[in-house]
Structure 1
């Protein structure tokens, strides 16, 4: 996955402000005391851009932002050196509330609906991405699809961008994922539940998950990565198949861990690393992010420390 054009563009249709509430002993239906609160710009593509920024390749964020909440995102783009090609729409981006209970290591998500996207805004987005494809060789289409957007959009964009010679990664779920895989993106990253929904059956263990990932790869998708939370991730490509298990780490927030994995995979593959190295490096990067709240990459020395502790297991051909 080494495009000839150096830039990476992330596309976020449903950007969000992630409000994280630290609430020890959180109990539904009871009065709970919040001991700390943070607000960070988010949305899956925004997070991937933030994790990739500062590397060797220019990073651009595209998609939609609510004009009223745009300053929070603009501050992140300025701080990280991310090129801003997001389209502004009237209103505010959605808020996702994350209730973190460190006593039980549990995170409760309350995700609000996003902006409604008019048809003319979708046309403007397509025009923007066509222009960006002239100078950028890798596109990341990630996150949920808001109201007014057809579930086929990621599939259409994948076909359009690949026809222009770009490499395309997709990280979404449900019907948008089902349609997207028909367009054969270069890389997809479902989690285990999303993969179950895609194949229409329970996947009872890692072996069944691996077989489903292999089937997805055999359908024409170059790299399939299935995130398994604390149990690591499975990586399947033409180079083989691996399971990577991260070491135990302190968890401040799991929000954005999957996006850190996507960013780690892309950075490693774009640098030309083989699948085993890619799996080890991206797993260490995602594990390091867990100690941070918001789209904050772990320090390089912390990633190097975790790299040695990632356990790698080759998967057979069955």
Structure 2
């Protein structure tokens, strides 16, 4: 598989309505209710769509970003966009972008998140921001081709916003990938994104029943594809059980790579970036599963939304094992 040649024109636009500055604090062993001594602290720009764009940029895919950004702490976001040549199309708001705290337990490899809710906007402000996003679609599509809609919604935003934007992408000749949860996921799935990437818990909530094993996830995924004609591919991340990649012809289980994790933060976002990169390369479902899993595994070894050199990611992809699911 070859990475996408760098170009000034973005081929992917990611949308992040609720970005964050992620303060990641590592401790040797997290003890609740006690004083914990930090081993290290790192501040990174975050938000699912931003993480996706950052990983795509590391792989050589020209990317643009949009969403909501607070002016008072925008500098670190802007520095990342400049360093990785990411086209900044954010809608700026007065005040701060939310700050999240992530506690990494080095003894267990687990991460505990404390996430702020995000800005509360009036109905008029939401309408203005939505008009800005649609103007971005007018400017970038259909040349950009792909739009990634990812992450939580700030307080007060209608659950149908992703569904509205998926339809707007389709009308402009683009294709969309959805990574959302809850009511926003349910509404947007009905609008028919080209690709959706829920995790197992998000899919269980969507279908209304528990998914205790891989067979149950496969059955739920196949029913979702059957009931949603516009949905072409479904990817379900399952943590230590790997990830399922399904379309109407095939179902594959991609097994996790053997990587010693530094932090699990952003691994799912890296997988989304790998799915997009593989789609741009016109990869088979197996090659897409390998590349997306390699993106996620490579991210596990790093703090922040960063990947190693593309050759390292591709070499890791060749070692990812997949199994055909009956």
Instruction: Give me the TM-score of the superposition, normalised by structure 2.
Output: 0.92
- Equivalent runs, 1:95-134 vs 2, <5 Å: 95-117=99-121, 118-119=125-126, 120-134=128-142
Aligned to 2:278, the other structure's residue is in SS state helix
* 1:137 to partner: Cα distance: 1.1
User: Residues of 2 paired with 1:260 and 1:141: CA distance?
Assistant: 14
* 1:112 to partner: Cα distance: 0.8
Gapped regions of structure 1 (runs ≥ 5):
none
Aligned to 1:35, the other structure's residue is in SS state strand
Query: Residue 80 of structure 2 corresponds to which residue in structure 1?
Result: 76
Whether 1:265 aligns to 2:269 is no
The 8 Å contact of residues 58 and 310 in structure 2, kept in 1 or not, is answered as no
The 8 Å contact of residues 257 and 293 in structure 2, kept in 1 or not, is answered as no
Query: Residue 278 of structure 1 corresponds to which residue in structure 2?
Result: 288
Query: Residue 198 of structure 2 corresponds to which residue in structure 1?
Result: 190
Query: Residue 232 of structure 1 corresponds to which residue in structure 2?
Result: 242
The 8 Å contact of residues 12 and 62 in structure 1, kept in 2 or not, is answered as yes
Deviations, residues 226-255 of structure 1 (Å, cap 9, x unaligned): 001122100001341100002221111111
Query: Residue 293 of structure 1 corresponds to which residue in structure 2?
Result: 303
Query: Residue 175 of structure 1 corresponds to which residue in structure 2?
Result: 183
May I ask how many residue pairs the two structures share in their alignment?
312
The 8 Å contact of residues 239 and 275 in structure 1, kept in 2 or not, is answered as no
* 1:301 to partner: Cα distance: 4.0
* 1:132 to partner: Cα distance: 2.4
Matching residue within 25, 32, 36 for 1:32: 36
User: Residues of 1 paired with 2:136 and 2:324: CA distance?
Assistant: 41
* 1:106 to partner: Cα distance: 1.3
User: Residues of 1 paired with 2:54 and 2:318: CA distance?
Assistant: 25
Deviations, residues 58-89 of structure 1 (Å, cap 9, x unaligned): 21001110111111100000000100000110
The 8 Å contact of residues 10 and 140 in structure 1, kept in 2 or not, is answered as yes
The 8 Å contact of residues 142 and 174 in structure 2, kept in 1 or not, is answered as no
Deviations, residues 136-174 of structure 1 (Å, cap 9, x unaligned): 211000000002311100000001111111000010100
Query: Residue 149 of structure 1 corresponds to which residue in structure 2?
Result: 157
* 1:55 to partner: Cα distance: 4.5
Aligned to 2:37, the other structure's residue is in SS state coil
Whether 1:44 aligns to 2:48 is yes
Structure 1 pair 198/128, CA: closer, same or farther in 2 (3 Å)? same
User: Residues of 2 paired with 1:270 and 1:110: CA distance?
Assistant: 35
User: Residues of 1 paired with 2:10 and 2:136: CA distance?
Assistant: 18
Query: Residue 213 of structure 2 corresponds to which residue in structure 1?
Result: 205
Deviations, residues 109-140 of structure 1 (Å, cap 9, x unaligned): 10011112322222223223332225321100
CA RMSD of superposed structures (Å): 1.5
Query: Residue 137 of structure 1 corresponds to which residue in structure 2?
Result: 145
Query: Residue 6 of structure 2 corresponds to which residue in structure 1?
Result: none
User: Residues of 2 paired with 1:128 and 1:247: CA distance?
Assistant: 37
